[in-house]
Structure 1
Amino acid sequence: MTAARTLVLGEALVDVVHEPDGSVREHPGGSPTNVAVGLARLGHRVDLATRIGTDERGDTIVELVGSEGITLVDGSRVAAPTSVAEATLDGSGAASYHFDIHWDLPDSVDTSGVGHVHTGSIAAVLEPGSAKVLDLIRATREHATVSYDPNARPSLMGDPAAARERVEALVALSDVVKASDEDIAWLYDHAPIPEVLRRWGTLGAVLTVVTRAHEGAVVGLSTSGQLVSVGATMVDVVDTVGAGDSFMSGLLSGLLDAELLGDAAARARLRAATLADIQPAVHRALTCAAVTVSRAGANPPGRHEL
């Protein structure tokens, strides 16, 4: 495994999950936080810069982060309510969301020794924190690789055209971009996936991936112009909460282990990589997602479960 330290920038919240049978359960979540947990369980050193309240729900998140060995960046805890996402599951296990989100980033985040930065979802588009995220990535990109997951939330992000402008600003700064087919449909008005991936490659992303639930993923390398479809691992689905985040952490883990992420030299290696070089990381991503959907909640696997 690489020794590169990963800094995750993004929201930490509590998922309040409403089951089809009417029962309700709560657990820590937030797309970037889920990715941080997934990476930590796969053996990577992770710092999390976020915004957590000093209430009981905030205590739950802090306990989780600490138990996973994740370092919480100073200034991430504030005297305010912890953000909440209400997730309602249908009979297939798919989730729809309603949010009560308060997002900002600590005023000062130490990036010394950081080899990779990941961000995504609400944190990348919701002010006032999103402007700080963009500035921090610009400042860190010279010595660290960058990944991004748009993870679109239409109820929070408003007009797709306005959201697309912010999304593409981050795509242009990123080495790896992962999205779902639902993200693409909302952001680009159902444009063909290959067309969007090529656009992102033109903006600057090297590796682009679109997940397609049980149909697997489409993977693109901008340096070669290649696109390939990869099949999913079939499992019995309990629910899909956190599946995309688990895919992202598995993908990043595989790329970090292969030294295709982690510093400026790794960026050069990623640009020279072939799809065959990327394939083990994509396989790990699909495996992580399959394990996650086979059990309740955003519960990514440890390395021993792969």
Structure 2
Amino acid sequence: MPDHTDLLVVGECVADIVRLPDQEDRVHPGGSPANVAYGLARLGHPATLLTQLGPDPNGRLIRDHLASAGVTARTDGSTAATPSAVVTLDGAGQASYAFDVAWTLAPVAVEPAPGHVHTGSIGAVVEPGSATVLGIVRAARATATVSYDPNVRPALMGDHAAAVARVEECVALSDLVKASDEDLEWLYPGEEPEKVAARWLESGPAVVLVTRGGDGALAVLPGRRITVAAAPVDVVDTVGAGDAFMSGTLHALAAHGLLGPGARERLRAVDRDTVTDVLRQAVASAAVTVARAGANPPDAQELREALTRDGAQGASGGARSN
């Protein structure tokens, strides 16, 4: 069972307009931070999302979607249109994005104080709203653990050097960072993901996770590297896969008592078996999501079934440390 640490996710909601050849457009609630909050609530955690939602059909769709899982949605009162993105899927289910996003989150009081704060994606880098996000993270660090996922969207990141500087600022404020190998390639072209993760680790985080698609995931900790293989799955689409990995990660960390007030030092002392378990749960969460359309992460029962199934097949396997 998950613990009851209050989890605050700060960042954007986006209406994903999914476009397939010779088919009508389908609108899915999305946005990386919103997907993470939704995934956490599906897994049984009290999750609050601080975001922007307009008084328009897309905004109502997303509000209803979040509420259906039990997410508490808070906004800054803005009446700006709900952000949207056209998501084009290729024959292998890989997604590309074209965005219509304005991120102007205004400062709001964060009460009660959360036990853990997660942020990422464009909400943490696109001005002027990113200044609000970073202010919330800095204020929360005194009593909360912090996680971050850059979830790079090149079309919205602006100047490359400035984007890298902001990402590194967010990394340094975080206890846990997760990035995909594609994120790292955009941020640091030609550099090995593991070396980037090790450099990030030196700036502050206790753990840096790198997702590698069909090649599984990697955890980088001081003096240790732990990998877990991907579960075999028939991919429908990859929308929300990284976000499901993130919510699965936080779910597992909470179960191990590694989120919330006082958990920072425990996270820094985390052992290999615990990290392996966290990775396996995160990979299984992502596998469930890619096997069905849209950003549709598992609930707690579905995650348990996936872990049992993958364990029986030996599919979660191959955890190794060096």
TM-score by length of 2: 0.91
Shift in alpha-carbon separation, 1:56–1:281, aligned structure 2, 3 A: same
Query: Which residue does 1:189 correspond to in 2?
Result: 189
Letter in 1 for 2:194: P
Moved more, 242-251 or 19-28: 19-28
SS at match of 1:99: strand
Match of 2:66 in 1: 65
CA distance in 2, matches of 1:10, 1:67: 19
Question: Which residue does 1:287 correspond to in 2?
Answer: 284
Superimposed CA distance per residue, residues 257-283 of structure 1 (whole angstroms, 9 cap, x where no aligned partner): 1111112x1111101112212121111
Count of residue correspondences: 302
For 2:272, the aligned partner's letter is: L
Are the equivalent residues in 1 in contact too, given 2:76–2:108 (CA < 8 A)?
Answer: no
Give the Cα separation in 2 of the matches to 1:162 and 1:79: 29
Cα 1:131–1:271 shift into 2, 3 Å: same
Structure 2 residue identity aligned to 1:283: R
Greater mean alpha carbon deviation, residues 137-146 or residues 108-117: 108-117
1:38 is matched with which residue? 39
In 1, distance between residues paired with 2:110 and 2:4? 18
The one-letter code matched in structure 1 to 2:84 is V
Report the counterpart of residue 253 of structure 1 in structure 2. Answer: 251
TM-superposed CA distance for 1:111, in Å, is 4.0
Aligned 1:115-154 pairs, distance under 5 A: 115-154=115-154
User: What is the deviation of 1:225?
Assistant: 2.0
Q: Distance in 2 between matches of 1:158 and 1:137?
A: 22
- Contact kept, 8 Å, 2:219 with 2:275, in 1: the verdict is no
Q: Distance in 2 between matches of 1:160 and 1:227?
A: 29
- How far residue 106 of structure 1 moved from its aligned partner, in angstroms, is 4.0
1:77 deviation in Å?
Answer: 4.5
Identity of aligned residues (%): 52
Structure 1 residue 107: Cα displacement: 2.2
Q: Which moved more, 1:253-262 or 1:15-24?
A: 15-24
Deviation at 1:254, TM superposition (A): 0.2
Distance 2:193 2:215 in 1: 14
CA distance in 1, matches of 2:43, 2:32: 17
Gap change, CA 1:225 and 1:21, over 3 Å in 2:
farther
1:273 paired with 2:274, answer no
Q: CA deviation at 1:44?
A: 0.4
User: Counterpart of 1:52?
Assistant: 53
Counterpart-to-counterpart distance in 2, 1:125 and 1:30 = 14
- Please say if 1:219 is aligned against 2:216: no
- Deviation, 1:241, is 0.3
Residue 161 (structure 1) shift: 1.8
- Residues of 2 paired with 1:15 and 1:275: CA distance? 37
Contact 2:113 2:140 in 1 (8 A): no
Q: Any conservation in 2 of the 1:6–1:46 contact (CA below 8 Å)?
A: yes
CA contact (8 A) 1:50 1:106 kept: no
Rounded to whole Å, the distance in 2 between the matches of 1:77 and 1:280 is: 40
CA distance in 2, matches of 1:300, 1:77: 28
Which residue matches 2:319? Answer: none
Note closer, same or farther for the CA distance 1:63–1:77 as it changes in structure 2 (3 Å cut): farther
Instruction: Tell me the SS of whatever aligns to 2:9.
Output: strand
What does 1:8-19 correspond to in 2, within 5 Å?
8-19=9-20
2: CA distance, partners of 1:303 / 1:261: 18
**What is the SS of the residue equivalent to 2:49?**
strand
**1:65 CA displacement:** 1.5
Are the counterparts in 1 of residues 228 and 276 from structure 2 also a CA contact under 8 Å? no
Q: Aligned equivalents of 1:162 and 1:128: distance in 2?
A: 14
Alignment gaps of 5+ in structure 1: none
Report the residue type matching 2:175 in the other structure.
D
Amino acid at match of 1:166: R
Name the SS for the 1:209 alignment partner: strand
| CA-CA distance at 1:229 after TM superposition | 2.2
Question: Deviations 1:53-102 (Å, cap 9, x if unpaired)?
Answer: 001111111111111111112x3442221100111000000000010001
Which residue is 1:157 aligned to?
Answer: 157
> Letter of the aligned partner of 2:251 in structure 1?
S
With structure 1 as the length reference, what TM-score do the two structures score?
0.96
CA distance in 1, matches of 2:272, 2:131: 34
CA distance in 2, matches of 1:161, 1:274: 35
Give the aligned partner of residue 179 of structure 1: 179
